[in-house]
Amino acid sequence: MRELRNRRRGFLSCITTKRQEIDDLSNDVNNLEPVRVKLAELTDVFRKFVKAHNAYNSELVDDTQRKNQMSTSPKLKFELFLSDC
């Protein structure tokens, strides 16, 4: 779960960086082609972020359901605790 969360954060960071690069380039009308390239890169990173977000969200739902279904077993509670660390 931590790996999915970190992956999602990484893509979000890339999105922020790409947006800033586009903002910096868009101040000059001569930078039309570099802006197009950066926009294509931003679109690609955003798609990857959406996939990572969906995977993370799905894992959250699955993990919550698993915890709710089996929360009565002390052994399972301990295993879930360890998996969250």
pLDDT in tens, 30-65: 999 999 999 999 999 999 999 998 888 888 877 666
51 and 61 Cβ atoms separated by less than 8 Å: no
Kindly report the length of the chain: 85
**Rounded Cα–Cα distance for residues 70 and 63 (Å):** 11
DSSP 8-state symbol, 31: G
User: What does pTM read for this prediction?
Assistant: 0.66
Return the number of other C-beta atoms located less than 10 Å from residue 38's C-beta.
21
**Rounded Cα–Cα distance for residues 75 and 41 (Å):** 47
**Rounded Cα–Cα distance for residues 82 and 85 (Å):** 5
Q: SS3 for 1?
A: coil
Position 78 confidence tier, pLDDT thresholds 50, 70, 90:
low
